[in-house]
Structure 1
Amino acid sequence: MTRAGRHGDIGHAIQALRAIVTRELLKFWQQKARLVSALVRPVLWLAVFAAGFRNVFGVAIIEPYDTYIPYDVYIAPGLIGMVLLFNGMQSSLAMVYDREMGLMRLLLTAPLPRWWLLLSKMFATALLSLVQVLAFVAVAAMLGTTLPMAPLALLHALFATLASALMLASLGLLLSVYVRQLENFAGTMNFVIFPMYFLSTALYPLWKLEESGATWVYRVAQFNPFTHAVEWIRFALYDKDPGSAPMVVLGTLLVCFMLACRGYDPQRGFGGLTQRGAA
């Protein structure tokens, strides 16, 4: 292949990425109620749940904190994770809808590598997640929940949030392979979203689970990739070492994306699923 040909292929790939991201952003802009609905859930938890349990759940001085903190500050990273989780799963719903309408088949027939098209969809989902997270952080600040603002820590937290958004977007991409109809999405809510969120450190630290005797919950939370996403964001905000959390998040991202690419291969997964769904 000539150098001009390679440059043309790269330019075509970037143009496709820009087109997919622009489409998702425009669709999001036209659905302003979507931003409101994305913020209602975490803001309700922050304003009502955290206020009600502020004096019930004391958070001790443990890493990454250097002093006692109010409960709303503790759950803020978990609520950021909630925004990422629900948007990642909503992207799965959107892809199932696009598949039923035939839009996914049209997209995947473009003269570009299938993995690049799926990566573009995943990146668009992660970008929308970041927009929603920034809106939530702004609302949380207006409600009096202040997070650390050190420049390096914020950059680290932004990277951790982006990586977590990509991980959850890749999980949504993988789920869209197996959720054949929109009616089945309620099962995804019950068996994926809620267990991932409640069996994590989003609402309570791991040591409290172990101390209370909830051993099995403690063990499951340790292996839950969403726990590591929340902990990475939490430690990044305080510029502390997140330990193995980045490796777990990035490893889960890679595995889910590879399985999704395999599932969307017409010879293996996607084509068969589409034919069976249409039968």
Structure 2
Amino acid sequence: MSADSQPAHNLIRAPRGWRRLRGWANRVGALTLVELQKLSHDRTELLIRLIQPALWLLIFGQTFSHLRIIETGSVSYLAFLAPGIIAQSALFISIFYGIQLVWDRDAGILAKLMVTPTPAAALITGKAAAAGVRSIVQVIGVLAIAYLMGVALTTNPLRILAAMGVVVLGSAFFACLSMTLAGLVRNRDRLIGIGQAITFPLFFASNALYPVEIMPEWLRWLSAVNPLSYEVNALRGLLLGTPSNMVLDLAVLVVAAVLGVIAASALLRRLVR
């Protein structure tokens, strides 16, 4: 019997439903592990990245605590600042993730990945998840420094795990933002410049350093559309127990991460060309 006359029921069909979702999740998990294995080539990277948040807490935080020029209600300024520094350090890790994508393109790795059955969305999600896992180390490091400084943060393990989940969501969005920019500019040096140009505006146009109430009106508007503000709000609610709209904060972070994956995936093939 010729190949053309084989019964239709003998043809191999593409997986659907749950099998397709499971296959997609397996690819995302594998790509995440590949990204995390890159850390084995430079194990000191994560320790070096803890220097900046430590300086923010030890110098900036303690100085402004003594000056007492920022009113933070019933919590100390150091306690108010710690969740903001966690979000900031995760932002600094994620916002340059698009550069790794450009390096993969220049090394020919990205072109090889794009000809496999792996969807572009799975590739982007894997890299975004890896950025989130890397950022968890920042959560642990900043919490350890804060505890050593006597900052009154929660010791409830469930709340700490939830805070790690919040940081993963925030990091995933900012990593996708960086990879979206990589698809637009397609140039490593230009991407580094853009990343440096938007990092501090994102940080200072949030509530990481000061309450929204003391901001000028125009800065409040920027803070309201900045996902970093919602990440910081959720972290303060979990680590400090301050009032927060957790449902809104998580909804914004989830929607932002999903839209980020969609945008970065749509531009991924443009980066390979």
Please give the range of the TM-score, normalised by the shorter of the 2 chains: 0.7 to 0.9
Q: Are 2:201 and 1:189 equivalent residues in the alignment?
A: no
Which of 217, 221, 227 lines up with 2:223 in the alignment?
221
Contact 1:96–1:179 (CA under 8 A) maintained in structure 2: no
Which of 28, 38, 45 lines up with 2:39 in the alignment?
28
Contact 1:130–1:165 (CA under 8 A) maintained in structure 2: no
Distance 1:24 1:53, change over 3 A: same
Letter in 1 for 2:121: W
Contact 1:122–1:173 (CA under 8 A) maintained in structure 2: no
Q: Provide the identity percentage.
A: 25
Letter in 2 for 1:237: L
Take 1:72 and 1:83, find their aligned partners in 2: how far apart are those partners?
A: 16
Deviation at 1:195, TM superposition (A): 0.6
Taking the TM superposition and a 5 Å limit, the aligned residue runs for 1:1-279 are: 13=24, 15-56=26-67, 57-61=69-73, 67=74, 69-209=75-215, 214-239=216-241, 240-243=243-246, 244-264=248-268, 266=269, 269-271=270-272, 274=273
Deviation at 1:198, TM superposition (A): 0.8
For residues 51-81 of structure 1, what are the alpha-carbon distances to aligned partners after superposition, in whole Å with 9 as ceiling and x for unaligned? Answer: 11112234342xxxxx2x2211111111111
Contact 1:93–1:185 (CA under 8 A) maintained in structure 2: yes
Deviation at 1:8, TM superposition (A): 7.8
Deviation at 1:202, TM superposition (A): 0.5
Contact 1:177–1:260 (CA under 8 A) maintained in structure 2: yes
Deviation at 1:84, TM superposition (A): 1.3
Contact 2:96–2:175 (CA under 8 A) maintained in structure 1: no
Distance 1:60 1:107, change over 3 A: same
Distance 1:2 1:31, change over 3 A: same
Deviation at 1:47, TM superposition (A): 0.6
Partner secondary structure for residue 50 of structure 2: helix
Partner secondary structure for residue 54 of structure 1: helix
Take 1:217 and 1:4, find their aligned partners in 2: how far apart are those partners?
A: 50
For residues 80-128 of structure 1, what are the alpha-carbon distances to aligned partners after superposition, in whole Å with 9 as ceiling and x for unaligned? Answer: 1112101112322211211122211122222222211221121122111
TM-score under structure 1 length normalisation: 0.82
> Could you tell which deviates more after superposition, 42-51 or 149-158?
149-158
Take 2:12 and 2:238, find their aligned partners in 1: how far apart are those partners?
A: 44
Letter in 2 for 1:201: N
> Could you tell which deviates more after superposition, 109-118 or 17-26?
17-26
Contact 1:173–1:257 (CA under 8 A) maintained in structure 2: no
> Could you tell which deviates more after superposition, 170-179 or 47-56?
170-179
Take 1:250 and 1:77, find their aligned partners in 2: how far apart are those partners?
A: 19
Take 2:226 and 2:33, find their aligned partners in 1: how far apart are those partners?
A: 32
Partner secondary structure for residue 153 of structure 2: coil
Letter in 2 for 1:29: S
Deviation at 1:207, TM superposition (A): 0.5
Take 1:128 and 1:201, find their aligned partners in 2: how far apart are those partners?
A: 23
Consecutive unaligned residues in structure 1, runs of 5 or more: 62-66, 275-279
Deviation at 1:146, TM superposition (A): 3.8
For residues 210-251 of structure 1, what are the alpha-carbon distances to aligned partners after superposition, in whole Å with 9 as ceiling and x for unaligned? Answer: xxxx22222211221211111111112245442522222222
Distance 1:16 1:256, change over 3 A: closer
Letter in 2 for 1:202: A
Contact 2:99–2:192 (CA under 8 A) maintained in structure 1: no
Match in the other structure for 2:4: none
Q: What is the root-mean-square deviation of aligned Cα atoms in Å?
A: 2.6
Take 1:186 and 1:15, find their aligned partners in 2: how far apart are those partners?
A: 31
TM-score under structure 2 length normalisation: 0.84
